[in-house]
A and B are shown apart, each in its own frame.
Chain A
Amino acid sequence: MFVLPGYDAFLGFLLIAAAVPVLALVTNKLVAPRSRDGERRLTYESGMEPIGGAWIQFNIRYYMFALVFVIFDVETVFLYPWAVAFHRLGLLAFIEALIFISILVVALAYAWRKGALEWS
């Protein structure tokens, strides 16, 4: 049985958010003038004419950033229960969390040293 409070607003928000793209596309279909030009077959790219195909090889830099991001995302998930239960845990847990973070600072320092964070 679902008993979590405060999710009525969440459900309403979800429904409105789901309606936005549908409404945008339907309104566009009804209101926008139809063009028979060849340009309408181009990919929409914020008003610019697209350059090249979409199937280009991405720079490996992005992959490095994504990897580093995954690591620190998981760290956030581990630290979140600590932050919520902070007042009931006391000083020992604070020191333990500091150890946890300092081990991950080593990871950050390694990534920094190896140039995984550089954008050039």
Chain B
Amino acid sequence: MTIASVTQLICFVALSLTLVLGALGVVLLPNIVYSAFLLAGVFLSVAGLYLLLNASFVAAAQVLVYVGAVNVLILFAIMLVNKKEAMAEIPGLLLRRVLSGAVCLGLFLLLLRVDLTTPWAVPGPTPLGEDATTLIGIHLFSDYLLPFELASVLLLMAMIGAIVLARRDVYSSDVITGEAADQGLIEKERTPLLLESPPRDTTLLEKV
């Protein structure tokens, strides 16, 4: 065993441990903010695994999009929701847990089967580093040109859909029932952030 392969093995074990433990934390922790931050760690570990597989462009894209953007979006979505409202008791919790567990197990078995039956050997020498990124660019602008241009249309649709959903004032009344739409989200955005916070909690200082 050379030093390089030992280093690679250590990196792989560390990344895998971080990934599995972080993913378990995402699912099991009761505080949803901790889950969101752990999810960033999971995404980073996945980027590290991509680096170990010599896919530097995919690793960079993973950090840029998932850690930098998607996770921030998830955090903002969590912070939009006021946690202090008491959660209603969910009926049939055991049945729900069994069902979701069965679905997860089925998905896991499917992935395992794909993993075992796919021939993983790559024919020919694989390009590395910057050459690989150049090759991606060349393929993107020759064979995969239409999907590339369609991606921009998809991004346009995503942007318009997101703005329409986030700004409910586009529809002043509900399309189906004809009642006035919930304008709460729009009203709240007009009040400054600090005024929304509850009065200062001085109980800690009074205990002194």
Which A residues have a C-beta under 8 Å from some C-beta of B? 1-5, 7, 11, 37-39, 41-42, 51-53, 55-64, 66-71, 73-78, 80-86, 88-89, 92-93, 96-97, 99-101, 103-104, 106-107, 110-111, 114-116
Q: A4-B56, A99-B149 known; A60 and B185 CB under 8 Å? A: yes
- Residues in B with CB closer than 8 Å to A76 are 64
Q: Closest residue to B206 on the A side, CB-wise?
A: A38
User: Could you tell me how many residues of chain B have their Cβ less than 8 Å away from some Cβ of chain A?
Assistant: 68
**CB < 8 Å: which of A4, A67, A70 contacts B51?**
A4
- B43-70 interface mask toward A, CB cutoff 8 Å, 1 = contact, 0 = none? 0000000011010110011001100111
Cβ-based interface call for B205 (8 A): yes
Q: Which 10 A-B pairs have the closest CB atoms?
A: A85-B137, A81-B137, A52-B197, A38-B208, A58-B79, A107-B159, A103-B152, A93-B141, A73-B69, A70-B69
**Does B204 contact A67, Cβ atoms closer than 8 Å?**
no
Q: A2-B54, A38-B205 known; A64 and B200 CB under 8 Å? A: no
A86 to B20 Cα, complex, angstroms: 39
A37 to B196 Cα, complex, angstroms: 29
**Does B159 contact A66, Cβ atoms closer than 8 Å?**
no
Instruction: Please give the distance in Å from B139's CB to the nearest CB on chain A.
Output: 8
**Does A104 contact B155, Cβ atoms closer than 8 Å?**
yes
Which B residues have a C-beta under 8 Å from some C-beta of A? 4-5, 7-8, 11, 51-52, 54, 56-57, 60-61, 64-65, 68-70, 72-73, 76-77, 79-84, 128-130, 133-138, 140-141, 145, 148-149, 151-153, 155-156, 158-160, 162-163, 166-167, 185, 188-189, 193-194, 196-201, 204-205, 207-208
